[in-house]
Protein backbone atom coordinates (compact mmCIF):
# COMPACT_ATOMS: atom_id res chain seq x y z
CA UNK A 1 0.00 0.00 0.00
CA UNK A 2 1.21 3.52 -0.76
CA UNK A 3 1.69 6.18 1.86
CA UNK A 4 -1.34 8.40 2.44
CA UNK A 5 -1.18 12.07 1.49
CA UNK A 6 -1.10 14.38 4.52
CA UNK A 7 -3.65 17.20 4.47
CA UNK A 8 -4.16 19.89 7.10
CA UNK A 9 -7.70 20.16 8.47
CA UNK A 10 -9.45 22.03 11.23
CA UNK A 11 -9.65 19.95 14.41
CA UNK A 12 -13.32 20.84 14.88
CA UNK A 13 -14.16 19.16 11.53
CA UNK A 14 -12.64 15.97 12.92
CA UNK A 15 -15.02 16.12 15.90
CA UNK A 16 -12.74 17.68 18.50
CA UNK A 17 -14.43 20.09 20.89
CA UNK A 18 -12.23 23.10 20.16
CA UNK A 19 -14.72 25.66 18.81
CA UNK A 20 -15.31 28.94 20.64
CA UNK A 21 -18.52 27.52 22.12
CA UNK A 22 -16.86 24.29 23.27
CA UNK A 23 -18.42 22.27 20.47
CA UNK A 24 -17.33 20.79 17.16
CA UNK A 25 -18.48 20.62 13.54
CA UNK A 26 -17.79 16.94 12.82
CA UNK A 27 -17.96 16.30 9.08
CA UNK A 28 -18.77 12.62 8.61
CA UNK A 29 -17.87 12.62 4.91
CA UNK A 30 -14.41 14.03 5.57
CA UNK A 31 -13.69 11.73 8.48
CA UNK A 32 -15.23 8.43 7.39
CA UNK A 33 -15.05 8.60 3.58
CA UNK A 34 -12.08 10.74 2.58
CA UNK A 35 -10.28 9.78 5.77
CA UNK A 36 -9.71 6.30 4.33
CA UNK A 37 -7.47 7.79 1.64
CA UNK A 38 -5.62 10.64 3.37
CA UNK A 39 -3.85 11.27 6.66
CA UNK A 40 -5.41 14.27 8.37
CA UNK A 41 -3.08 16.71 10.11
CA UNK A 42 -5.38 18.39 12.67
CA UNK A 43 -4.83 22.09 13.39
CA UNK A 44 -6.61 24.72 15.46
CA UNK A 45 -4.73 28.03 15.41
CA UNK A 46 -6.77 29.50 18.27
CA UNK A 47 -6.03 26.62 20.64
CA UNK A 48 -2.41 26.35 19.49
CA UNK A 49 -2.04 30.07 20.26
CA UNK A 50 -3.26 29.32 23.79
CA UNK A 51 -6.84 30.58 23.69
CA UNK A 52 -9.24 28.72 25.99
CA UNK A 53 -12.21 26.53 25.06
CA UNK A 54 -14.85 27.83 25.36
CA UNK A 55 -13.91 31.42 24.50
CA UNK A 56 -15.52 34.61 23.30
CA UNK A 57 -16.39 34.53 19.59
CA UNK A 58 -13.95 36.31 17.26
CA UNK A 59 -14.75 38.40 14.21
CA UNK A 60 -12.13 39.39 11.65
CA UNK A 61 -12.28 42.95 10.42
CA UNK A 62 -10.39 44.90 7.80
CA UNK A 63 -8.87 43.67 4.58
CA UNK A 64 -5.88 41.62 3.58
CA UNK A 65 -5.42 44.07 0.71
CA UNK A 66 -4.08 47.53 1.58
CA UNK A 67 -6.44 50.29 0.59
CA UNK A 68 -9.50 47.99 0.47
CA UNK A 69 -12.22 47.44 3.02
Q: How many Cα atoms within 13 Å fall on the side-chain side of residue 10?
A: 11
55, 17 contact by CB (below 8 A)? no
What Rg, from alpha-carbon coordinates, does the chain have?
15
Q: Whole-model pTM?
A: 0.77
Full pLDDT tens readout for the chain, 69 residues: 589 999 999 999 999 999 999 999 999 999 999 999 999 999 999 999 999 999 998 888 888 787 766
The percent of the chain in helix, strand and coil, each rounded to the nearest 5, is: 25, 15, 55
Amino acid sequence: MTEKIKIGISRCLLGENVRYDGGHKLDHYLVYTLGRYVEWVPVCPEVEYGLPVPREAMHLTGSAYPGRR
